[in-house]
Chain A
């Protein structure tokens, strides 16, 4: 088995269809822009009040399910890809960090189990929605510190936002299982973010350059994980920014503000991109 497993080799059974972020973003259709503003909903936030709430929740639940699979795979790979050492170079990590990643693998495996059960409860079949592989892509860095910043702080931070949205959804809808399960998963994700923050600080204690690079990488991943506007403080985004739980996970106020800014920027970029893609599609159609 090789070190550093490429995202396009992630193993799945025949029910799954994987797409990249680029393919996903190439869709010119979006609820964010359009000629008829009246037809657009006032808010894209996922709440039970939406007419399509059940289907949107099912879609998001499937997104959580495949995200958990990729998080499991990412944590597992970090156990294998690096030698055990002092963590002073990019080819090794401390023994205790590997133990944390193994613990995270177990947690993510449970989250996959929970997501499968919840999906059944919501009437969704495994593989019913396309799987965006962007999460694992962030777990492919060859520097373990960047991987921690990208996976534990950015990805697991996104998970905090998503689970908070779903927990609130279940709570308002009165769904006893959804609220219960999301609350448990949220507790684990806060732990994983703290793991990432602690290791980032410890490993880069005497290496400010490496820390800076890791934080820059996290910022890039945070922007990618905003899924082109899917997560932000704006009501135009289906998923909000869970400020309170992020504080619990060890994010400083400044860091939360940075993520909020980056997420809003991603939302605006997505709108501009969708408008361009829409115009391109019309041009191509006219030319054909």
Chain B
């Protein structure tokens, strides 16, 4: 066995984590508050839609995914006080009014023959934007100072990817005709325009750029 008292580098040769990151504590807290708000709106919508979809398999998936996003919201809620925000409700806000508009449009469909629209909104627009914003945050924050946020992002991303795949599978199994392809595309375009105008789930700069 090697000498246990021999000095070793604090960062092993394979540990390439870097100290610098794009976000300070305040900016991180703002983003986390936006994430929590968006995850809340998503799990509320999924829960509300359960009763409105006639497809039994979709009904069960929505109930399962509802909890995934509630759990993400809870993780972000718990992260906020660690980012010097002792009143998490203060930062639990939409990034901007356009995102509120987006959520209103997302949750508009109710009729039992609008399952495609409901799923398109969640799985072809909202969740892809979670994936992109979370990925951007994970890859740009300080790998050392902000490790707790990275851990939550990683956990959330596992669900986001799994749920996105579930949703896409459901959509592909529901979309049978050219008319349904058009319906899905039209609804996606309408919602995508809104979320692009909002700048993403954390507003402009959700995935950098601004």
* Inter-subunit contact B47/A75 (CB<8 Å): yes
Contact A11 B47, CB 8 Å, known A105-B63, A106-B64: no
Closest A residue by C-beta to B54? A11
* Inter-subunit contact A106/B66 (CB<8 Å): yes
Main secondary structure, interface of A, reads: helix
Most buried by A among B47, B64, B68, B70: B47
A188 contacts partner chain B, Cβ-Cβ < 8 Å: no
Contact A1 B64, CB 8 Å, known A79-B47, A80-B48, A99-B74: no
A183 contacts partner chain B, Cβ-Cβ < 8 Å: no
* Inter-subunit contact A10/B51 (CB<8 Å): yes
CA distance A279 to B64 in the complex (A): 48
Contact A11 B51, CB 8 Å, known A2-B110, A72-B59, A72-B60: yes
B residues in contact with A9, CB < 8 Å: 51-52
B64 → chain A closest CB, angstroms: 5
B56 contacts partner chain A, Cβ-Cβ < 8 Å: yes
Which residue of A105, A113, A126 contacts B50 across the interface (Cβ within 8 Å)?
Answer: A105
CA distance A52 to B64 in the complex (A): 36
A 99-114 to B, binary, CB cutoff 8 A, 1 in contact else 0: 1011101101110110
CA distance A69 to B55 in the complex (A): 12
Closest A residue by C-beta to B50? A76
A residues in contact with B61, CB < 8 Å: 109
A257 → chain B closest CB, angstroms: 34
Which residue of A76, A81, A98 contacts B62 across the interface (Cβ within 8 Å)?
Answer: A76
A152 → chain B closest CB, angstroms: 15
* Inter-subunit contact A77/B51 (CB<8 Å): yes
Closest A residue by C-beta to B45? A80
B43 contacts partner chain A, Cβ-Cβ < 8 Å: yes
CA distance A286 to B68 in the complex (A): 60
* Inter-subunit contact B44/A80 (CB<8 Å): yes
Closest B residue by C-beta to A106? B67
CA distance A105 to B61 in the complex (A): 10
* Inter-subunit contact A12/B63 (CB<8 Å): no
B21 contacts partner chain A, Cβ-Cβ < 8 Å: no
B residues in contact with A108, CB < 8 Å: 63
* Inter-subunit contact A73/B67 (CB<8 Å): no
Interface residues of A in 44-98 (CB under 8 A from B): 69, 72-73, 75-81, 84, 95, 98
A5 contacts partner chain B, Cβ-Cβ < 8 Å: yes
* Inter-subunit contact B66/A112 (CB<8 Å): no
Chain B residues in contact with chain A, CB under 8 A? Answer: 40, 43-56, 59-64, 66-71, 73-74, 77, 107-110, 112
Closest 7 CB pairs of A and B: A80-B48, A79-B47, A102-B70, A109-B63, A76-B47, A106-B67, A76-B50
